[in-house]
Structure 1
Amino acid sequence: MTEMLLLDPVQVLKGPGHAVEIGGAALLRDGRLEALGEAARAAAHAANITVQDAGQQLLAPCLVDAHSFLPAPFQGQGETLNSLMRSAGAGGFGQIALLPDGETRRERPEHLHGFELKDCDVDVHLWAGFSQGGEGEQLTPHADLIEAGAVGLSDGGAIPSMALIDRALTLGECGSAPLLISPLDLNLRGEGLLREGPEALRAGWPGDPLSSETVPLSQLAQLQQEHPERRLMVMGVSTATSVDLLQRQPKRPGSTVSWWHLIQSSSDSAATAASWFVSPSLGDDADRQGLIEGLRNGVIDAVAVHALPLDDEECLLPPDQRQRGVAGHQHVLPALWQALVVTRGWSAEELWDILSFKPATLLGRTPEQLALGSNRWLLFDPEQTWAPSRDDPSASKAANQPWLHRAVKGKVVACGLRTPKSHCG
């Protein structure tokens, strides 16, 4: 049976370079965008279709996640590829790029197969390993990996030696594909759980010095100057000082920031919320404000979810013994809408630029946009309140999701993308 729905009025964002249309109309047929504007109204009138008032809702292109972890994509009780695609699609994400860390590091062309899911429209892009074993000493076959379909090269949360990065940039086997490098010196970070400052001291958690990010970032920025023809990307900038450092570069490397660093800081109940320990470490409110300003003025290119799903058993470990990260793609758009659009006056166009259009560009993909006949759309209601629950069939299986069973304002109420059925997770 054919399902048809007319949203009238509804706010419409068609794609990059377009302004949001207030009081628009959209006709949906079996999950696909059939028509917009007056054409939608005329077709709906001819078919005698009931109109749904969606004046406060926004019909827009799907979101894009430039990098996230998925340690066990094909087995286990925690997050799998099926469950991630299901929850990400429910959160409006149409593309996700997975970092190479996991049960099998993707260091050979044959490791890039098996990620295509039946009846799933969420596009999975794969970062391949930059160095053998992630040890930062020997390069993987970059050219072969890119030819096999890798979106770029990365060692995930570890940083290779600068000499090896310089060698890779000089050889240029990656061609125009990006090298995604985390500016994190683990030796300088030590046992630090929060960025050094009064908040970490008051909470009694070990501090992470600013130098653990600024020292490697300075070196990466210098390498970009020496190899301007290469695409170097800095993964997860986390301090205001780093934003200033990038702003001073005549040739800036590409850069991302985790969504979590835009809505939380070390001053937010750091003494009790172990789930806030992420990598890179959270800074203070000045860092958060610096990151937001860096995004708005283009110093930082895009927001990444940078999810690291943990299972229940790992979440029982003490904070200094567990992996650092949060998960939950369904939380991202509501949280950033509140933090940037509602609180700071950003436009929807600006938000989609950093959460959809620019991440796609960083991945070398065409930006998402609304197209007639396509099911690549989401419908977001900024006023709807909901309570995230792991019992929801579309929810992530990760145990380290924020705000479980707490009221969250803003929700993706519909998305045209097909995702795996819940029993397949």
Structure 2
Amino acid sequence: MTELYIKDIQLMDQTGQLYLAELWVKQGKVAGIGTDLSPLVSDKAQIIEGKNNLLAPGFVDLHVHFREPGFTHKETIASGSRSAAKGGFTTVCAMPNLNPVPDNVADYQHIQQLIEKDSVIQTKQYGSITKALKSSELVDMKGLKEAGVFAFTNDGVGVQSAGTMYLAMKEAAKLGLPIVAHTEDESLLFGGCMHEGKRSKELGLPGILSAAESSQIARDLVLAEATGCHYHVCHVSTKESVALIRQAKEAGVHVTCEVCPHHLILTDQDIPEDNGQYKMNPPLRAEEDRQALINGLKDGTIDCIATDHAPHTAEEKEKSMREAAFGIVGSETAFPLLYTEFVQTGIFTLKEVLDWLTIKPAQVFQLAAGEIKVGSSADVTLLDLDTCYHIDSADFVSASSNTPFLNKQVQGKSRYTVANGQIVWQEEEK
């Protein structure tokens, strides 16, 4: 294992104050934190010059799509994990809408082998709730837990049957594992491709009702209370959803949830034309929804930020919103967008944003991540908070670059990312 000596860095304390420090990494672990560690470090250690940049815990993303196996023309475990590393992420949770779906032990173990071979960061693979992501037959949850599954989700589609969801939650509660839900009642979609509102009418495009999301959350919260299951809601996007989750938390239901950067930053009014790059699921909502998401983060209703990194080819996105694939990439843009839009404007503190990207998501699933402390895995990212640049598709490490944020000027980026004591991303010096 590489021995690292990271000099001239700033660390953040529990109050959000920055202080000068050094970090010593040995055998994949944080071996020391102090102001002069040089007497402890061997002459074989690799030195990283911190240049007074902020060293943060490696980011934790509960929601990525790496597309392998089955869709490697969009992304692979290798390219997706490097994309995450470039964005400062050292732990990610990969969704199971793959081919084959990891709905049995053999296919799950095959994906695990691919991850061990190709991922440069810690990648945890979800198991599916049901066979083939259909809403009928449950997977062998006990067998998948024994094989290493940490949580179950059908992300990409909502579980349409309340009976199936009830049985899934009952079994998951017995096993002590979370049910993670993409909430979408398909009977309320009506062929929609963007948020149902004034802008969808102006563009002549079919809308997606807010109720398609919130009605299924309401159903699931009742089931979660009845079963005692830990229920985690993916990519919350509407004010009604936030209100329901807030009410359920106050009532003692074990519910957690995440929000994506794009839903915090953009609304349907930001869609300039019928452009597939703005098509995502859930869609960009109204300004009142965006404000509810911001308030939900502030008051703790929303637990953390996740990217829903969803790569697609240019051919799949460069078409009308009616036909384009749902989803945008997010691993490489999440931190600079959040820092630029919210920290620089004083809406969130830097500590809040870092917490929502590190310790908070780690706590949701009790992951050993999100902190810098002696003895912990050396998962860190060195953040240059001063550099301004434009988001450029030519700079993407991901195999795809589908995002409406191309050409946007942002500030802040990861110079180095270290996972398990190994340098997995290093920004080229210019």
User: TM-score category by the smaller chain?
Assistant: 0.7 to 0.9
3-state SS of paired residue (2:91): strand
**Alignment RMSD:** 3.0
**Offset, 1:43:** 6.7
1:82 aligns with 2:78: yes
In 1: Cα distance, 2:407 partner to 2:38 partner: 39
In 2: Cα distance, 1:389 partner to 1:119 partner: 25
Runs of 4+ in 1 over 6 A off after TM superposition: 29-32, 41-44, 419-422
3-state SS of paired residue (2:35): helix
Alignment match, 1:179? 179
Given that 2:358 and 2:371 are in contact with CA atoms closer than 8 Å, whether structure 1 keeps it comes out as no
Given that 1:70 and 1:101 are in contact with CA atoms closer than 8 Å, whether structure 2 keeps it comes out as no
Letter in 2 for 1:105: V
In 2: Cα distance, 1:246 partner to 1:132 partner: 28
Length-normalised TM-score, structure 2: 0.86
Letter in 2 for 1:142: M
Q: Deviations over 1:226-265 (max 9, x none)?
A: 12x2111122211112111222221342212222111111
Letter in 2 for 1:101: N
Given that 2:238 and 2:289 are in contact with CA atoms closer than 8 Å, whether structure 1 keeps it comes out as yes
Alignment match, 2:66? 70
**Offset, 1:200:** 2.0
In 2: Cα distance, 1:405 partner to 1:281 partner: 21
Deviates more, 1:276-285 or 1:189-198: 189-198
Alignment match, 1:331? 333
Length-normalised TM-score, structure 1: 0.87
Given that 2:271 and 2:278 are in contact with CA atoms closer than 8 Å, whether structure 1 keeps it comes out as no
Alignment match, 2:217? 217
**Structure 1 residue corresponding to 2:34, chosen from 29, 32, 37:** 37
3-state SS of paired residue (1:329): coil
In 2: Cα distance, 1:406 partner to 1:172 partner: 42
Alignment of 1:157-306 (within 5 A): 157-160=156-159, 161-172=161-172, 175-227=175-227, 229-249=228-248, 250-252=251-253, 253-306=255-308
- How has the CA–CA distance of structure 1 residues 109 and 41 changed in structure 2, closer, same or farther, with 3 Å as cutoff? same
Deviates more, 1:348-357 or 1:116-125: 116-125
1:23 aligns with 2:25: no
**Offset, 1:313:** 2.5
State the percentage of identical aligned residues: 23
Letter in 2 for 1:271: E
1:381 aligns with 2:378: no
In 2: Cα distance, 1:108 partner to 1:43 partner: 48
In 1: Cα distance, 2:29 partner to 2:290 partner: 38
Alignment match, 1:364? 366
Given that 2:336 and 2:410 are in contact with CA atoms closer than 8 Å, whether structure 1 keeps it comes out as yes
Letter in 2 for 1:39: D
Deviates more, 1:287-296 or 1:355-364: 355-364
Q: Deviations over 1:170-195 (max 9, x none)?
A: 34476111011122112202222222
Letter in 1 for 2:152: L
Q: Deviations over 1:279-336 (max 9, x none)?
A: 0111111111100110111111121111111012222343222321101301001111
Question: Where do 5+ consecutive residues of structure 1 fail to align?
Answer: none
- How has the CA–CA distance of structure 1 residues 34 and 120 changed in structure 2, closer, same or farther, with 3 Å as cutoff? farther
Q: Deviations over 1:122-174 (max 9, x none)?
A: 11111111111111111111111111111211111212211111122234476
Question: Where do 5+ consecutive residues of structure 2 fail to align?
Answer: none
